[in-house]
Amino acid sequence: MPTALVIGASRGIGLEFVRQYREAGWRVLATVRDEAGAERVQALGAQALTVDVANPASVSGLGWLLDGERLDLALYVAGIIRRPDARTPPTRDDFDAVMHTNVLGAMQALPQVAPLVEAVGGTFAFLSTAMSQIGAVAASNAWLYRTSKAALNMAVAAAQHDYPGATLVTLDPGWVQTDMGGETAPLSVHDSVQGLRAVLVSLRPEDRGRLLHHDGRRASTW
C-alpha cells in the first residue's frame, strides 16, 4: 500500500487530497493544526499529525513525527493569502504570516521530508499558483501572495539538486472554490485535486523543479 503525506490537510484542497487518496486505497498521513482538523482527516481514515507550519518550532518536530516512514508522495498544501495590491505596503504582520506559511514552512519541511521521499524514488509536490509566474503577470492584486509563491517556486527548483532521487515540483491548482478562491471560482475542489493527481501520475524527469498546472500544462514562464 503506497503512503502519502499531506501537509496542511485541515480543509479545502488538502482535505480533498486526503479524501481522494484514501478512496484510491492509499495510506495517508495528514498534518493539521487543531483537534477539529484532526477529526476531519480521521473521519476519512487518515492518520492525523498536529503541526502548525506557521510556527517554526512546530515544523521542526515534523521529522520526529515521521521517524521510520517511507513516503511515495508528499504534498505541501498549506498556504494563506493577503490581498492588497502594490498601492498598499504590506504590514509586518501580513508579511510575516504569508512568508512563514507559504515559504519558511515549506523550506523547513523540505529537508525533513525529502529524504523519506527520496528513499523510495517518490514525489514531493508543493502547492503554488499561476499567479507566481514572473513572465506572465497580469495584475498586482495579492502581490504579497504572488511574491511568496514565486519564492516557493525557487526554493523547490533549487532543492531539487540536493535530492536527485526524488521528484520535486510545484503545482498550480487553478482558481478553486475554497475559502481563499471564493464561491465564484470556476473549479470545484474535487475537480482541481483530480486534475492534480493526474498530473502527478504523468510526471517526467524533465518536470523536476518545474511549475505544473492542474490541467497538465507545463509552465513556460517563471
Q: Please identify which residue in the block is written with the cell numbers 532543492.
A: 159
pLDDT digits (tens, 9 = 90+) for 147-184: 999 999 999 999 999 999 999 999 999 777 877 767 77
Query: Hey, what CATH topology would domain 3-213 get?
Result: Rossmann fold (3.40.50)
Helix or strand run (H / E) with residue 69: none
Whether residue 67 is predicted with pLDDT greater than 70 in this model: the reply is yes
Q: Please identify which residue in the block is written with the cell numbers 493539521.
A: 32
Query: 126: which strand partners?
Result: 76, 170
Residue 15 main-chain phi, psi, to 5 deg? -65, -35
Confidence of residue 112 (pLDDT cuts 50, 70, 90): very high
Domain boundaries, the chain: 3-213
pLDDT digits (tens, 9 = 90+) for 4-44: 999 999 999 999 999 999 999 999 999 999 999 999 999 99
